[in-house]
Amino acid sequence: MSELFRPAAEWELQSMIARLAREKRGIEVVGHGALRNTGRVASSDVVLTTSGLKGVTLYEPTELVMSARSGTPVYEIESVLAARGQMLAFEPVDLGPTTGAPGGALSIGGVFATNFSGSRRISVGSARDNLLGVRAVNGRGELFKSGGRVMKNVAGLDVARGLTGSWGTLAVMTEVTFKVAPLPQTMQTLAFVGLPDDLAIEALSVAMATPLEVSGAVHLPKNCAERLKVAKLKHVGQSLTLLRLETFSTSIDERKEKLKAALKVYGNPIELDPEETFSLWSEFRTLSVMPFSTDTSLWRISTLPTKAPEIVAAIQKFMDAVAFYDWSGALVWLEVPAAADAGAADVRRAVAVRGGHATLIRAEPEIRSTVDVFEPLKPEIERLTRGIKSAFDPNGLLNRGRMYADF
């Protein structure tokens, strides 16, 4: 078992990394472990956890801004926000339950390190878009900051957002500052029944083109819809195309009727009340329709909405895949039978010819050690990527191999 470092303060984390950098020891960076079963299997000498760096350090509800130490659990942050009628607008996704890691262990640092955002991303932007500033320690043991606490800040390079999606390979975030948003007064969902994938994506695109501020646009084919837990939908027995509205109580009915009118050619939807709506969309935050199983692997595909059904259909020619579409089709979660390469060859080929990229989220460690977990980079982008890695972490100590095999 690797040696475990658990700094309790930023200065302690910096001094630890500085020492490890001098000793050139590889460091696996983790929060509370929610993401340990994702990404490539990193090689390291020590484990450094940010779980000791906890707590909200700044909260200004009237400025819609919060700062928190990176190891603060997301549920704690959401609890503080909810008490003031606010929320993390981008609905962070907790991969723990779907990857066999603990649920509820997601840290706010992990959210920004992976930039995994939930269904509301389609209307409010990603975690990255909501990030305002960071404090972090790079692989040289240097403490630096970028951004700040104000929403408009264009002083210098946007290093803070540049760290999002880097999976702890460039720097260990010690504190993050981000936008928060008011909780909607109320919410409702329209569920259209029985649409084939391509027609469903068309319906979602029509909805997203309206000015009605649809805040969730998901399609579940029949074999995935059957996995839903919400009582009103679980026994429908057909595909479900879901649209969420969140707004003021005085507006919700007007918007709902307009949305139904705009989509009337797609049928009469089932309507979900606020409580049902909350339960339904919470399921997507933990990917409960893609439950953990060693018999299957899970992919996350980012593409154009109109291309998504084609990609899924192409993959289904080769394997028994179950998909659901989020972000009006711009994001596909795809479950495939476990295989030697987790279906990588077929998945990547289907994506490559239609545009986008695929990330292997769940697979046995041996597979994640041998298959490209992240989409391989084009040569000129790989050159820049290696340069950036080297600029932050010249000895390749932080999460080495977590994203790419040799750096």
Task: Rule CB under 8 A: choose which of 330, 350, 360, 371 binds other proteins.
Answer: 330
Q: Is 66 helix (H, G, I), strand (E, B) or coil?
A: strand
Q: How far is the CB of 377 from other proteins (least distance, A)?
A: 6
Question: Per CB under 8 A, which of residues 62..91 are in contact with other proteins?
Answer: 62-65, 85
Q: In 3D, which of 347, 382, 350 has the Cα closest to residue 362?
A: 347
Q: Which among 25-33, 55-63, 261-269, 287-295 is the span making contact with other proteins, rule CB under 8 A?
A: 55-63
Give the DSSP per-residue string, 139-205. Answer: TTS-EEEEE-SSS---SS--HHHHHTTSTTSSEEEEEEEEE-EEPPSEEEEEEEES--HHHHHHHHH
Evaluated on CA atoms 166, 172, 177, 180, the torsion sign reads: positive
Q: How far is the CB of 184 from other proteins (least distance, A)?
A: 8
Task: Rule CB under 8 A: choose which of 392, 393, 397, 399 binds other proteins.
Answer: 392
CB nearer other proteins, residue 142 or residue 364: 142
Q: Which among 1-9, 268-276, 281-289, 352-360 is the span making contact with other proteins, rule CB under 8 A?
A: 352-360
CB nearer other proteins, residue 75 or residue 248: 248
Q: How far is the CB of 1 from other proteins (least distance, A)?
A: 30
φ, ψ for residue 258, nearest 5 deg: -65, -40
Binding to other proteins by residue 380, rule CB under 8 A? yes
Binding to other proteins by residue 209, rule CB under 8 A? yes
CA distance 386 to 394: 10
CB nearer other proteins, residue 257 or residue 320: 257
Helix (H) or strand (E) segment spanning residue 370 = helix 365-370
Q: What is the DSSP secondary structure assignment for residue 127, as one 8-state letter? A: H
Binding to other proteins by residue 11, rule CB under 8 A? no
CA distance 360 to 383: 23
CA distance 231 to 361: 28
Task: Rule CB under 8 A: choose which of 13, 200, 208, 322 binds other proteins.
Answer: 208
Q: How far is the CB of 326 from other proteins (least distance, A)?
A: 10
CB nearer other proteins, residue 161 or residue 362: 161
Question: Per CB under 8 A, which of residues 235..294 are in contact with other proteins?
Answer: 248, 250-251, 254, 258
Q: In 3D, which of 133, 174, 168 has the Cα closest to residue 13?
A: 174
Q: Which among 43-51, 74-82, 264-272, 386-394 is the span making contact with other proteins, rule CB under 8 A?
A: 386-394
Q: Per-residue x/- mask for other proteins, residues 187 to 206, rule CB under 8 A? A: ---------------x--x-
Q: How many residues bind other proteins (CB under 8 A)?
A: 82
Q: Per-residue x/- mask for other proteins, residues 289 to 308, rule CB under 8 A? A: -------------xxxxx--
Cβ atoms 134, 366 nearer than 8 A: no
Binding to other proteins by residue 60, rule CB under 8 A? yes
Q: In 3D, which of 27, 24, 42, 17 has the Cα closest to residue 406?
A: 42
Q: Give every CB contact of residue 380 below 8 A, 6+ residues apart in sequence.
A: none
Instruction: Give percent helix, percent strand, percent coil of the chain, each to the nearest 5.
Output: 35, 25, 40
Question: Per CB under 8 A, which of residues 134..163 are in contact with other proteins?
Answer: 138, 142-146, 148-163
CB nearer other proteins, residue 285 or residue 357: 357
Distances (CA, A) of 72 to 50, 57, 68, 234: 9, 10, 7, 34
Task: Rule CB under 8 A: choose which of 357, 369, 370, 396 binds other proteins.
Answer: 357
Q: How far is the CB of 322 from other proteins (least distance, A)?
A: 21
Cβ atoms 122, 208 nearer than 8 A: yes
CB nearer other proteins, residue 272 or residue 331: 331
Residue 3, burial from CB neighbour count under 10 angstroms (0-12, 13-18, 19+): exposed
Question: Per CB under 8 A, which of residues 86..145 are in contact with other proteins?
Answer: 115, 121-122, 125-126, 128-129, 138, 142-145
Q: In 3D, which of 159, 148, 56, 165 has the Cα closest to residue 114?
A: 165
